[in-house]
Amino acid sequence: MAFGMRLVFSGIVAALVASGATAAPDYRIDWEITNRFGPFEALNLPSAVFQEYRLREEDGGFDGWHARLDRRPGGMKSPYADAIRSGAPLHWDPIRQLHSPRVTRFVKHEKDPQTTVSARFRLTVEGEDPLAEGAMCMWEGGAPQPCDAPFDTRVPLRGSFVSVEVGGETVLAWIKPEHMVIVGVGDSYSSGEGNPDLPAEWKPLRFPNSNDIGWLAERRSQFLEPGPDRRWIDNTCHRSFFSYQGLTALRLASEDPHRFVSFLHYSCSGAEIFDGLIFPQRRVIEEGSDGPVWLRYAQVNAVVQDLCAGGLSQNPRHRAHPDYFPVTDEELGGLSIRDFERTYRGTELAPGGRSEPWMRPAREAGGISRSYPHDGLMDCDELRVPDHVFLSIGGNDVAFGEMVRYYILPVDYEDSWLKSIAAPAVCPPPVYQADKRLHPAAYARCARLRGANGYDAMDLLTGTERNGQLVGGIDQRFSLAVSILKHRLGVPAEAISMAQYPDPLRTVPPVTPPCARLRYTDQVVYGAQSDTYDDLSAWNGIDEATRVISWTKQWEYVVTEEEAWKALDFFDTFRVRLADTAQELGISFVCETRDAFVGHGWWTGEHLALPHLVPQGRPGHWNIEDLDPYGYRVAGRAIRTANDSVLIQPSLVRVATRNTSVSGTFHPNFFGHRLVAEGFYQSLFGGEAPED
């Protein structure tokens, strides 16, 4: 070569000294991506942030990882908390309701040489002629530096050659990051509901002899620290860092130094298969608004836009809505859209359909959203097919949240205000309702609801009869969702992964296989008494949403053993049907997470009662300054109680119908997401899940 230099490929001697047969030292270029998680890199967070938050081998999994991060000054917190507190833009654009170009550039333009990621290189040598002490190296694009020092630079995501000059030789290596694209879609169990990135901060309080909830229900704004209200990455969907989908993606980025993970998160609280996943979600309450708002896009359409490297495909048959196409017969697989009508009674999954007038007011509101939402599905000819789709859906489709509300609230409440803002919109089937002879008013109310809706929760699960067949059940809804994800995102069924819903009701581990129905002996549950008002109840925080004046009656918010058994039996019926359908469809379904919360029920752990409601010296008393939403616990509950929710995500909006303080109730807390993430990861990527 020119100037007498030799070319040595990393790990392979490409040339020998011209005189004689002496081999050159075996130079190697070791390298790693220093910021391997797409959202961190998109926000230009220092590589040290990823190095701190990544899971390390010595952590031994999410448990040790959480314990390590909680030992830091300030404890465990979201890596996005500081940016949210300062008002800095995040990787999610709440106006466009899509991911920021700063994060989608890795997906849309991964073959562009200008799309780079941070990397660190080191030169090592083996053989009889080791690198001389104090030797200097010249890395391409850098200045001379000691060879034993790391070299930090950026490399194209598509791969490139990297070279370094040392001792008159040029060492050349091909560097190709593994780019893994992960999409997370679904409902509140995967969005992070109940776990805001920036939880509420309370002033120190002392009420030594108060058992009155008034300080929380009516005057809580006086006791909150000034500054931003509780915040998520996306406030509309309550989407946060503390989600098992994101935690799993972070672990996949952590385990391979040559891997870069683009994680795109779309899960939204309240999402159903139709109302959210494949149709724009309307059942979203944006605090401070005058009522319900629509999301601009169905989740699947948002994914298509963020993964589309070129322009969206255009539909010449619909000039008014050229970005939208009707659902195809192949996607329907013989199903009829009208078999699924519930919320809208009009969607055809086609542009210009019967549902369009429903969405017109949202479009006419002006601003950037004036052209949205619309019915129909988007398509793209240059789509970057995701490597994994993490899915969590179905619970809202069978109205499980409404059933939980039915059981927590008093059975025979007569207060008209409580009825109007807290009564469930869907009742359990009669076999799971309160005894008709003991509670005739409750039974009559559910009968009226079923007449008005045309269904109860069991109808939503099994379907309703039409022409002698059951149609529109969760198995058919789920099949349609998977079919649309496969066709619109181009993924095979096995690339779609879903964790089974866990429950916090059982007290003993089951003996049945995780995909099978629980035996009667497995259904051992915990229940509270319902005779009198209990100031230790974990559910009294519901008063924060329902109580408007201090003399309102103290209601008995409890889950009794009988109610817990009924809820579990219904939910187990749902879970088995979901698991059976998933296996028929060939998706990667993790049944093992069904049992993730056994031993971590809602009645376990500390701080069950609200603070300051139990006098000092009595069991259950604690002070608000002891609240630690994401602190490490060896054991405890895996879900948010109503009390947890109103303390961690209190709403400052006093219109009760838009109060989301209690929306975190019965959702996984960070401990719960950690448990699901561990089982999800181990089953899909790491072998068998460890014993709890």
Encoded tokens for 573: 């019926």
Average pLDDT, the chain: 86
| pLDDT interval class at 319 (50, 70, 90) | confident
What is this structure's pTM?
0.93
* 3-state SS assignment for residue 164: strand
> Does residue 38 register a pLDDT over 60?
yes
pLDDT tens string 580-637: 999 999 999 999 999 999 999 999 999 998 888 777 777 878 888 889 999 998 899 9
pLDDT tens string 566-594: 999 999 999 999 999 999 999 999 999 99
Measured over the CA atoms of residue 634, residue 640, residue 643 and residue 646, the dihedral's sign is positive
> Are the beta carbons of 542 and 422 closer than 8 angstroms?
yes
Which range, of 105-114, 190-199, 416-425, averages the lowest pLDDT?
416-425
Report d(CA 92, CA 421) in Å as an integer.
32
Cis peptide before 373 (omega within 30 of 0): yes
Report d(CA 610, CA 544) in Å as an integer.
11
Report d(CA 117, CA 413) in Å as an integer.
59
> Are the beta carbons of 56 and 251 closer than 8 angstroms?
no
> Does residue 553 register a pLDDT over 70?
no
Complete edge-to-edge strand list for the sheet that includes strand 160-166: 6-9, 169-175, 160-166, 136-139, 145-146
Measured over the CA atoms of residue 70, residue 73, residue 77 and residue 79, the dihedral's sign is negative
> Does residue 691 register a pLDDT over 70?
no
Highest mean pLDDT pick, 113-117, 309-313, 338-342, 508-512: 113-117
What type of residue is 407?
A: Y
| pLDDT interval class at 424 (50, 70, 90) | confident
Give me the residue label for tokens 């975190």: 664
Give me the helices (H) in 22-154, please.
Answer: 38-42, 47-53, 62-70, 81-86, 101-108
CB atoms within 10 A of CB 62: 24
> Does residue 8 register a pLDDT over 60?
no
DSSP class of residue 570 equals: H
pLDDT of residue 6: 43
Select from 198, 202, 247 the least CA-distant residue to 84. Answer: 198
Strand pairing report for 169-175 and 178-186:
unpaired
pLDDT of residue 343: 57
Taking phi over 0 as left and psi of -120 to 50 as alpha, with beta for the rest, 63 belongs to alpha
CB atoms within 10 A of CB 144: 10
Higher pLDDT, 491 or 553: 491
Select from 365, 363, 426 the least CA-distant residue to 398. Answer: 426
Strand partners, 154: 118
* 3-state SS assignment for residue 358: helix
Average pLDDT over residues 399-418: 76
Report d(CA 79, CA 47) in Å as an integer.
12
Give me the residue label for tokens 């303390």: 647
**Domains in the chain: boundaries:** 2-62+73-176, 177-204+212-692
Report d(CA 131, CA 122) in Å as an integer.
13
pLDDT of residue 354: 83
Report d(CA 334, CA 237) in Å as an integer.
32
DSSP class of residue 502 equals: P
Rg of the chain over Cα atoms, rounded to whole angstroms, equals: 28
> Does residue 462 register a pLDDT over 90?
yes
Report d(CA 305, CA 231) in Å as an integer.
25
Report d(CA 489, CA 494) in Å as an integer.
13
DSSP class of residue 168 equals: T
pLDDT tens string 118-132: 999 999 887 655 666
Report d(CA 284, CA 396) in Å as an integer.
13
Average pLDDT over residues 283-308: 79
Which range, of 237-241, 261-265, 426-430, 619-623, averages the lowest pLDDT?
619-623
Strand pairing report for 284-285 and 496-499:
unpaired
Q: Which CA distances in Å does 547 have to 550, 609, 663?
A: 7, 17, 16
Q: Rounded to 5, what percent of the chain is helix, strand, coil? A: 30, 15, 50
Report d(CA 299, CA 313) in Å as an integer.
17
Select from 422, 378, 381 the least CA-distant residue to 401. Answer: 422
Select from 644, 654, 522 the least CA-distant residue to 576. Answer: 522
> Does residue 418 register a pLDDT over 60?
no
Report d(CA 87, CA 103) in Å as an integer.
18
Architecture of domain 177-204+212-692: 3-Layer(aba) Sandwich (3.40)
Measured over the CA atoms of residue 372, residue 376, residue 382 and residue 385, the dihedral's sign is positive
Alpha carbon 306 to its chain's center: 18
pLDDT of residue 542: 84
Alpha carbon 163 to its chain's center: 41
Average pLDDT over residues 72-80: 95
